[in-house]
């Protein structure tokens, strides 16, 4: 008798663990994990079912909190708009129930993922590379599609990650093309964080510098305004024509402000995470206005495209604007396209969604990125390579104004991405 009980218990718990049986709904769409017939918690139409998407982001005390929070808000607004427009294939999408804080720690990331993985179809955001790497094997073995919140070139080589915009590597190549054309720069110094953010950009700079015949050097620096003394000394000492920055906003202000104060007169170009509109109130503002420009993988908040207009409408009333909102919004389009394709294929299982991603040859970004962007079918060769250049401007809503619209430089155009750039630095 007792034996029987044990066996029953074991059997029951084993099935309880696995879950996620494939079922077919009334519309003939196959579903498994994270899709329910019951409406979403905040459903607009109670008759529709619900697709649950998870968000794992840096929401309280990690280093990317200032970007992560706007990204998350923009994504909520994005999916709310999708729901208001009638949802996808008889379902609405929920991105509010499974929002988790990773504190930018791989272990925490893994723990919260374990907690939600039985309940979500895909990840609407997984922030950070080391953190995402901790769950990558799980994502791959479970066919879970995930939207990243960074622009590293590694994502081009992971099928389950659906990235948008040019990666840091390509972006710095474009920056260099731009600087050589406009400022006739002869030497370049890359000041960068360690890791796939900074190293990726520095590798792009290195490649472009070799191509364009500039003298190249690079210097690793750390997060924290007080830790930039070495970088400043290097810039002031070497006096390169151009400095490419891949740091955070406070570090940018410190480096640009103090290098300028100590007599440096060359140019700075920073990737998009180096900028924050509030820097215009800082003591470094005059130096930033004079010497700094920002590269960006897509156009800023104020641009006139249907996508940007929808973004502004969805987020009216937001004070303290930052480009994090734009980023969160743009990043969400590929997942929307994939969900639409999967429902059209009548297969909304995880495997079905991944298959839909792999068959996407373009994504409708509503004009925010050029047509043809989002070619996941082509893998690494389908990468979008456009970059825009902005400069600080007190009149701009997000503190910047456009210098050069989206372009692909000759160096990036000719470059074939064959493995993650940061490995080549």
CA distance 161 to 285: 37
Does 300 contact another protein by CB under 8 A? no
Does 59 contact another protein by CB under 8 A? yes
Does 322 contact another protein by CB under 8 A? yes
Burial class (CB in 10 A: 0-12, 13-18, 19+), 158: middle
Does 42 contact another protein by CB under 8 A? no
Interface positions, 66-95, toward another protein (CB under 8 A): 66-70, 72-73, 76
**Listed residue (54, 48, 44) closest to 29, CA to CA:** 48
Does 60 contact another protein by CB under 8 A? yes
# residues near another protein by CB under 8 A: 92
Whole-number minimum distance, CB 342 to another protein, in Å?
25
CA distance 20 to 10: 18
Specify the residue for token string 């066996």. 7
Burial class (CB in 10 A: 0-12, 13-18, 19+), 350: buried
Specify the residue for token string 């250049």. 389
Does 276 contact another protein by CB under 8 A? yes
Nearest residue (CB) to another protein, 39 versus 63: 63
Burial class (CB in 10 A: 0-12, 13-18, 19+), 2: exposed
Does 394 contact another protein by CB under 8 A? no
The helix, strand and coil proportions of the chain, stated in percent and rounded to the nearest 5, come to 45, 20, 35
Interface positions, 193-222, toward another protein (CB under 8 A): 193-199, 219-222
Binding letters toward another protein, positions 242-261, x by CB under 8 A:
------xxx--xx--xx-xx
Task: Show the CA angle centred on residue 123, arms to residues 121 and 129, nearest 5°.
Answer: 145
Interface positions, 91-120, toward another protein (CB under 8 A): 96, 99-101, 103, 105-108, 110-112, 114-115, 117-118
Nearest residue (CB) to another protein, 22 versus 107: 107
Strand 35-36 to 99-101 pairing: unpaired
Whole-number minimum distance, CB 289 to another protein, in Å?
13
Whole-number minimum distance, CB 165 to another protein, in Å?
19
Nearest residue (CB) to another protein, 136 versus 310: 136
Does 20 contact another protein by CB under 8 A? no
**Listed residue (105, 135, 168, 148) closest to 327, CA to CA:** 148
Nearest residue (CB) to another protein, 108 versus 411: 108
The separation between the first and the last C-alpha atoms of the chain, rounded to the nearest angstrom, is 66
Work out which of 230, 306, 372, 379 binds another protein, going by CB under 8 A.
230
Nearest residue (CB) to another protein, 35 versus 67: 67
Strand 23-24 to 347-348 pairing: unpaired
Does 158 contact another protein by CB under 8 A? no
Work out which of 43, 233, 380, 402 binds another protein, going by CB under 8 A.
233
Nearest residue (CB) to another protein, 320 versus 344: 320
Interface positions, 359-388, toward another protein (CB under 8 A): none
Bridge partners for 220 per DSSP: 192
Burial code (b: 16+ CB inside 10 Å, e: under 16) for 202-237 equals bbbbbbbbebbebebbbbbbeeeeeebeebbebbee
Nearest residue (CB) to another protein, 81 versus 100: 100
Nearest residue (CB) to another protein, 248 versus 409: 248
């Amino acid at each position: 008798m007792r034996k029987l009980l044990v066996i029953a218990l074991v059997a029951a718990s084993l099935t309880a663990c696995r879950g996620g049986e494939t079922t077919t709904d009334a519309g003939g769409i196959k579903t498994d994990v994270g899709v329910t017939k019951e409406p979403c918690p905040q459903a607009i139409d109670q008759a529709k079912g619900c697709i649950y998407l998870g968000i794992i982001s840096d929401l309280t005390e990690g280093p990317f909190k200032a970007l992560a929070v706007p990204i998350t808000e923009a994504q909520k607004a994005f999916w709310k708009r999708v729901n208001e427009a009638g949802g996808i294939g008889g379902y609405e999408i929920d991105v509010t129930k499974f929002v988790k804080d990773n504190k930018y720690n791989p272990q925490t990331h893994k723990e919260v993922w374990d907690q939600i993985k039985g309940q979500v179809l895909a990840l609407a955001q997984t922030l950070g590379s080391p953190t995402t790497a901790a769950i990558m094997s799980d994502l791959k073995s479970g066919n879970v599609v995930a939207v990243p919140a960074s622009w590293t070139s590694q994502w081009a080589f992971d099928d389950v990650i659906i990235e948008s915009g040019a990666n840091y590597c390509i972006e710095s190549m474009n920056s260099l093309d731009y600087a050589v054309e406009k400022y006739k720069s002869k030497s370049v110094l890359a000041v960068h964080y360690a890791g796939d953010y900074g190293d990726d950009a520095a590798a792009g700079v290195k490649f472009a510098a070799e191509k364009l015949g500039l003298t190249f050097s690079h210097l690793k620096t750390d997060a924290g305004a007080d830790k930039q003394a070495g970088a400043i000394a290097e810039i002031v000492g070497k006096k390169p024509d151009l400095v490419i920055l891949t740091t955070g906003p406070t570090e940018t202000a410190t480096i640009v402000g103090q290098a300028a104060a100590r007599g440096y007169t060359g140019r700075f170009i920073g990737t998009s995470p180096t900028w924050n509109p509030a820097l215009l109130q800082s003591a470094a503002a005059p130096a930033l206005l004079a010497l700094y420009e920002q590269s960006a993988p897509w156009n800023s908040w104020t641009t006139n495209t249907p996508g940007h207009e929808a973004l502004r409408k969805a987020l009216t009333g937001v004070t303290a604007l930052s480009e994090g909102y734009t980023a969160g919004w743009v990043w969400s389009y590929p997942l929307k396209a994939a969900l639409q394709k999967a429902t059209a294929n009548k297969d909304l299982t995880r495997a079905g969604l991944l298959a839909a991603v792999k068959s996407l040859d373009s994504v409708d970004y509503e004009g925010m990125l050029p047509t043809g962007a989002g070619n996941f079918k082509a893998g690494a060769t389908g990468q979008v390579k456009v970059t825009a250049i902005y400069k600080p401007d007190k009149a701009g809503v997000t503190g910047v104004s456009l210098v050069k619209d989206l372009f692909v430089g000759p160096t990036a155009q000719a470059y074939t991405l064959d493995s993650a750039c940061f490995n080549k630095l």
